[in-house]
Amino acid sequence: MMNEKVLDMLNEQMNREFYSWYLYLSVSTYFNSLDLEGFEQWTRRQAIEETQHAMKIYSYLLDRNGRVVLSQIPEPTQKWHSPLDAVQAVYNHECELTGRINDIVRVTREVSDYSTEVFLHWFITEQREEEAMASRVLQKLKMIGSDMSGLLMLDSQVASVGQAEPTE
């Protein structure tokens, strides 16, 4: 039987991953409104990945005979001031997710739940990659500033970000 605290934290994380889906979708919609197709594709692809992250936890909970609790997904911000503002929000969110995953790992160690700890290794690697990806785009947006041609060039570059990654 799973430790109650670990169970609760995994359920919270599953719901946070569903919220991540909403957040990326909101950002993707914003990029669509700006006709920045590359940014739109990147964030839409990322949104789909987030549902896969949530479902990974969902499946794990069922495998362990754990209770699945589907909470209300909060409404994401839907007003973005600039591409930089939107990508900054995505980056901040990924950093927060990393912190939450680390918190769960810490508790799995305290209660000797090694199975969950090993399960979460995948998420630790994924978070590192996603943080790095968002950070790279963010830094480029900062360098570009208000240069429209630079923004359009970056738009074509980010179109393929994450495209070759395996989807689990």
Residues that bind ligand FEO (CB under 6 A): 17, 20, 50, 53, 94, 97, 130
Q: Which residue is nearest to ligand FEO (CB)?
A: 53
C-alpha angle 37-40-45 in degrees, rounded to nearest 5: 125
CA dihedral over 21, 33, 141, 156, signed as positive or negative:
positive
Q: What is the distance between the alpha carbons of residues 164 and 160, in angstroms, rounded to a whole number?
A: 8
Residue 128's CB is within 10 A of a number of other CB atoms, namely 12
Q: Which is nearer to ligand FEO, 92 or 143 (CB)?
A: 92
CB of 25 to ligand FEO, least distance (A): 13
CB of 127 to ligand FEO, least distance (A): 6
Q: What is the distance between the alpha carbons of residues 38 and 57, in angstroms, rounded to a whole number?
A: 29
Q: Which is nearer to ligand FEO, 118 or 132 (CB)?
A: 132
Q: Which is nearer to ligand FEO, 17 or 155 (CB)?
A: 17
CB of 46 to ligand FEO, least distance (A): 7
For 4-39, give the DSSP string. Answer: HHHHHHHHHHHHHHHHHHHHHHHHHHHHHHTT-HHH
Q: Which is nearer to ligand FEO, 87 or 97 (CB)?
A: 97
CB of 49 to ligand FEO, least distance (A): 7
